[in-house]
A and B are shown apart, each in its own frame.
Chain A
């Protein structure tokens, strides 16, 4: 098993005729994902790697003959909100938003509509998700052969605010013989569709997942929410955290933004030091090196 994806999961790609989207489509198809349609307004009748292109999501759903499970939105920032609304209103339940630099208010609107309609958004500013041996949705891991090299099936769920580090961590787990159940690049923006705490119940219910690794950074309240969720639900699923951006705690770096849009320290509580203390207090070990992760996970699994 895996979370969110399975062998029969179908999705469409919005903005499929764009350069990056064409690559992403190829990579996902090669990995075994079922992309049933693409949407680019005005390009109806074309094909991208054999995937039929439509003007609207409605046409794509009609062609498919039933609901389409997911959508990958790779459209320019000014048009992303509308594309996501279109997917949600046509019954799509999982939308991966790849686009960077979408105004926050648009993201807040997307997330609110998704909540009202019982849909889920991953991202924005993310690479999507991958269930090794099953499917991938988005550019995560790159071309199928590279993705297969870094991601082997195993018991560890990965959630990361950095797309690239999702692969680095998963590759490290794979090399250590552990492997990954599902890895999710949750996005680097200040507002995202699915936080660690919001994804935890899925991993908790997944029989394959025995431990979680999170990649985290200064900025925001997502780690505090994870700690709260864990306590409220009495969750025993072991978690190992890696915290990047410790240097941002330096006096000279205050108020500067590095890495992702959401990586900015706006108050004492969002600093690396505070977050590490909070996570460790809750029994979540925070490692300083990626290469320490496999041993810490094994300790948790054995413990």
Chain B
């Protein structure tokens, strides 16, 4: 259906004499150079999208005459499509005007939000979108695939690991969302070279914490890990402590040598510190800032390397 229509459109397009085509517009450039060519409209997510709202937006670009109504139909349909199908982006670019004054989309780009894919499975199948096809920006590494599999095997808590773009020697077992960003910055700003990015959150099981730590330790060039989080209220310090120690022992490494620092203050911290103490691992409570903890980890790894 779609192919047939496009062929016809292309024929028409080639045949058209009064071809008016600006070429593919880069909207940011148009906005900067010709602000009067850009119409902005605000859509309700709650109420039906009225045609007049699309018309107002088209009129703001300076369109009038018969083309106003024709372009309004295109924009209204696009706006409804964006909203009703959970698109984070719906773009027709370029839109061509044929000799008879009608508009055709020569190219279009749609992005559906991941969280909403589930409720549009049928339509995605109909138009032939393969949901098994990875839509990542790059091929996931073995580390990333393994961490994902460990995470998926157990519903308690969340672990994530990324190593795309990380090439260092300091393994990071860190969390949670904001804490991981903060700690990765703190390691790098103090001259450390992270081997990966990670996130622990939502109170993962011993198996999950252990699995993440093992994956990090098995990365090429990683001898040491730093285990650090912002103050936790849900994730239990003792469970993470058990997990990372188990990882060291299972890989035949001495926890005291391998874990350069353990800085997770918060829930069950007394129990956690006792476990760590038994294995000779340095525990830091909240009196050691995230920056200081990261700095100590970097110093220990670099001292070792020097």
Residues of A that sit less than 8 Å from B by CB: 20, 23, 77, 101-105, 108-109, 112-113, 116, 127, 139-143, 146-147, 150, 160-165, 167-168, 171-172, 175, 188, 215, 217, 242, 244-248, 250, 252-253, 255-256, 258-260, 263, 288-291
Contacts and interface: CB of A to CB of B under 8 A. Distances in A.
Given A143-B233, A288-B185, A168 B88 contact: no
A16 B26 CA distance: 49
B291 interface: yes
Contact of A252 (B164, B185, B287): B164
Given A164-B231, A171-B286, A247-B184, A105 B116 contact: yes
Given A244-B178, A252-B165, 18 more contacts: A103-B115, A104-B113, A109-B45, A139-B234, A146-B267, A150-B231, A164-B178, A164-B229, A164-B231, A167-B231, A168-B231, A168-B290, A171-B265, A244-B182, A247-B185, A248-B181, A256-B165, A290-B182
Contacts of B286: 150, 171, 175
Contact of A104 (B86, B177, B290): B86
A167 B180 contact: no
B181 A259 contact: yes
B186 interface: yes
B1 interface: no
Contact of B189 (A113, A245, A248, A288): A288
A165 B45 contact: no
A9 B33 CA distance: 52
Count class of interface residues, chain B? 35 or more
A175 B178 contact: no
Chain A CB count within 10 A is highest, among B46, B182, B186, for B182
B232 interface: yes
B46 A113 contact: yes
Question: Nearest 7 pairs between A and B by C-beta?
Answer: A162-B178, A142-B233, A252-B165, A291-B289, A165-B178, A244-B181, A108-B45
Given A245-B185, A252-B165, A291-B292, A109 B178 contact: no
Given A141-B233, A142-B234, A291-B289, A260 B115 contact: no
Nearest to A291: B289
Contacts of A147: 233
Given A244-B178, A258-B162, A291-B289, A164 B46 contact: no
B145 interface: no
Contacts of A217: 178, 181
Chain B CB count within 10 A is highest, among A140, A147, A244, for A244
Nearest to A101: B115
B289 A160 contact: no
Nearest to A268: B28
Contact of A188 (B113, B177, B290): B177
Given A113-B46, A164-B230, A258 B178 contact: no
Given A103-B115, A109-B46, A260 B178 contact: yes
B238 interface: no
Interface in B249-295: 265-267, 286-287, 289-292
Chain A CB count within 10 A is highest, among B88, B137, B181, for B181
Contacts of B179: 162, 164-165, 168
B197 interface: yes
Given A162-B179, A289-B186, A250 B165 contact: yes
Contacts of B113: 103-105
A244 B184 CA distance: 9
A105 B84 CA distance: 9
Given A105-B45, A109-B45, A289-B291, A258 B176 contact: no
A101 B117 CA distance: 12
B83 interface: yes
Nearest to B167: A252
16 contacts: A77-B115, A103-B113, A112-B45, A147-B233, A161-B178, A162-B178, A164-B177, A164-B229, A168-B231, A215-B178, A258-B197, A259-B180, A260-B178, A290-B289, A290-B290, A291-B290
Interface string B41-55: 000111000000000
A247 B165 CA distance: 10
A167 B188 contact: no
Given A104-B86, A105-B83, A142 B164 contact: no
Nearest to B166: A252
B177 A162 contact: yes
A165 B230 contact: yes
Nearest to B201: A164
B289 A246 contact: no
A146 B266 contact: yes
B199 interface: yes
Contacts of B184: 245, 247
A112 B46 contact: yes
A293 to B, nearest CB: 10
B176 A164 contact: yes
B273 to A, nearest CB: 15
Contact of B177 (A108, A175, A252, A259): A259
Nearest to B158: A100
Contacts of A244: 178, 181-182, 185
Contacts of B230: 162, 164-165, 167-168
Given A139-B234, A165-B179, A244-B178, A112 B44 contact: yes
Contact of B178 (A139, A143, A259): A259
Nearest to A293: B289
B85 to A, nearest CB: 9
Contacts of A146: 233, 266-267
